[in-house]
Amino acid sequence: MSEKKGRNLQFHIFKYNPLDENDRPKMKTYELEETPGMTIFVALNFIRDRLDHTLQFDFVCRAGICGSCAMVINGVPTLACRTLTSSFEDGQITLLPLPIFKLIGDLSIDTANWMKDMSKDIESWIHTNEETIIDGIEKPMEPELADEIFELDRCIECGCCVAACGTKRMRPKFKGAVALNRIARYALDPRDKRTEEDMYEIIGDDEGVFGCMTLLGCDDTCPKHLPLQTKIAYLRRKMVQVGRS
């Protein structure tokens, strides 16, 4: 008895090497047979191993933790390792690199330097004058507050929220949900001694929390389902109060 064959999938993939002055952006189509439980990540590895050794894309963990494999899949920024090919009934799958970020080649982008610059811009570290005692006992924190901070710390810096942000497209200097989420995390942390006025200096303008147009692109695409719009609204309420004082 012969094994049942999987359906044929067609992948339309963006190809371009910016380091090659003779290359031009183009779409290239690859066809392969679907296997049970196939993800976009598995399909890309098959294409690179069997069909096109030059194909560039990123991955590390393969478990939705590192954020490296983020790309635009049929128009939606998401993770390749968490997206099943069975989700696309017609078997037509278009893959593009995330916009906003520097293109390395094909589907590979540089999010690391963008995230590093963002962290410096918003001063993404606990500000305190207290001396850190490495072997000392940690200061207690209410479990509910610790859980709320941990929830925001689950951001994997994949860049999906940035790529899906209409405001970011129109205002290149807009900090974006990933940065505002980080600020909300430190605003909640009692170990950070910055005042609301200090936070206002960082995000209290149209490049920060007042620039968000609540288009919900970040909420729609965050693979970790973080409460991004909720925290942006939380920060906006706080910053409005500072601006009025």
Q: What is the pLDDT of residues 140-163, one digit of tens each?
A: 899 999 999 999 999 999 999 999
What does DSSP assign to residue 39?
B
Q: CB-based contacts of 200: which residues, under 8 Å, 6+ apart?
A: 239, 242, 243
**Is 55's pLDDT higher than 70?**
yes
Q: What is the pLDDT of residue 3?
A: 58
Domain positions in the chain are: 8-109, 111-244
CA distance 212 to 228: 11
pLDDT tens by residue, 183-235 = 999 999 999 999 999 999 999 999 999 999 999 999 999 999 999 999 999 99
**Is 37's pLDDT higher than 70?**
yes
Averaged pLDDT, 29-54: 97
**Burial environment of residue 32 by CB neighbours within 10 A (0 to 12, 13 to 18, 19 or more):** middle
Q: What is the pLDDT of residue 4?
A: 65
pLDDT tens by residue, 78-116 = 999 999 999 999 999 999 999 999 999 999 999 999 999
The rounded mean pLDDT for the chain is 94
Q: Across the strands, what pairs with 30?
A: 11
Q: What is the pLDDT of residue 130?
A: 85
Angstrom distances, CA of residue 188 to CA of 35, 50, 240? 46, 50, 17
What class has domain 111-244?
mainly alpha
Q: What is the pLDDT of residue 1?
A: 45
- In CATH, what number does 8-109 get? 3.10.20.30
